[in-house]
């Protein structure tokens, strides 16, 4: 009886630990994906903005 209770306690503790670590890992994975998406979007926007500024400068130089 005591051995069964001990086994259930250990099993429950391991299950809880795995469950918490899985939730934490999933949260970190989602956060990492969001950071990556924001970084790529920022890079794309910066490149597009740089192209637009270069076009504006070149068209402004042509007019003068």
pLDDT tens for each residue of the chain, 64 residues long: 677 787 888 888 888 877 788 888 888 889 998 999 988 888 888 777 777 777 887 776 554 4
C-alpha–C-alpha distance, residues 14 and 29, integer Å: 22
Structural domain boundaries of the chain?
Answer: 25-64
pTM over 0.85? The answer is: no
Which residue reads 């086994």 in tokens?
A: 7
What's the confidence (pLDDT) of residue 31? 92
What does the longest C-alpha to C-alpha distance in the chain come to? 93
């Amino acid at each position: 009886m005591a051995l069964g209770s001990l086994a259930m306690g250990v099993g429950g503790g391991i299950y809880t630990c795995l469950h918490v670590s899985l939730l934490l890992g999933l949260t970190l994975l989602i956060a990492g994906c969001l950071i990556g998406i924001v970084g790529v979007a920022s890079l794309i926007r910066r490149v597009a903005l740089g192209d637009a500024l270069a076009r504006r400068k070149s068209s402004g130089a042509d007019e003068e």
